[in-house]
Amino acid sequence: MTNPTCFLHSPLDMHIHFREGDMLRRVAPLSARTFAGGVIMPNLVPPVDDFGRLERYAAEVRTAVAGHAFEPYMTLFMRPYTEKELASMKDRIIGVKLYPEGVTTHSDTGVGNLRDVEDTLASMEEMGIRLMVHGETSDFVLDRERAFLPVYEDLAARFPRLDIVMEHITTLEAAALLDRHENLYATVTLQHLLITLDDVAGGLLNPHLFCKPIAKRPEDRDALLARALEAHPKLAFGSDSAPHPVDRKECAGCAAGVFTAPVALQMLVGLFEENGALDQLQAFVSDNAQRIYGVAPPEKTVVFEKTGAVIPERYGDVIPMYPGRKLDWTVADVH
């Protein structure tokens, strides 16, 4: 008797952190093995915010994923840009990422006042350049996304031809916005479909589940999961996989980020199977993104078998989500 199988065609990760240097070379192939493409975040030090930096980083990423059928979709870090600057980089990026100042890793040079980038947003709307947003304020930690939602509504109303992606949404209210504005879209992570704040800090603190935006309440998790399981047409998978060395996670003042890249697809297959929604997974991890972002990723088929495997304790000096836990589904073949 053969093991059950599942096939995914050209899966995409529409929000991922590859870092630079040794970390990039370590983690990028783990994504490129099974994903056909990914949206690469620009919050490096210094950020990816000019033509030369963009070209150099794109070349470094392509070198790191060489040998895999994987297309990196590059992004720019939001600052005031001239029309000439945007025009020179338009064909090399999938969007511009807005980080409010100081809300997450390497966002100290983010946008402090939206008025500073009003002209840039107007130019992006005219040029058809997508806006991608880390939607949080500096309010009480559980309320930061909710407090930012009026900003999304304001932007969506004032720039109706600007496609806006609410990155890694975490609340039921954010999920509801998908049905209220035609030009609002969203990504959601694996961890926010699985965990709540109780998993992070309800017992002993688990630093490897600590991320920003922080995991929320059960009702938030359940609302996000419902949207994912139905493959809501304006929602795409974006792992927000964010590797940090173990000494930056298991310490006082630990870094925010959950490293899921090597196991995300396997865990999603299990999650969707458990909820009787395997027929919706292809749309959630690829078809929706291809339509929303207008991309045509490389052809790739990932075959999963229900054989079981154990998540490695670490990948180099990076610890993944749920190290040592058994997975029901494993990657049997990629072609």
Q: Which residues are catalytic?
A: 240
Radius of gyration, alpha carbons of the chain: 19
Phi/psi for 133 (5° steps) reads -130, 130
Give SS3 for 191: helix
Q: How do 131-133 and 235-237 pair as beta strands?
A: unpaired
Under DSSP, is residue 232 helix (H, G, I), strand (E, B) or coil? coil
Query: Which of 278, 248, 244, 320 has its CA nearest to residue 5?
Result: 278
Q: Can you tell me whether residue 202 is helix, strand or coil?
A: coil
Cβ proximity of 254 and 248 under 8 Å: yes
Q: Quickly tell me which residue has 């000494």 as its tokens.
A: 247
List the one residue out of 21, 17, 20, 13 whose CA is nearest residue 70: 13
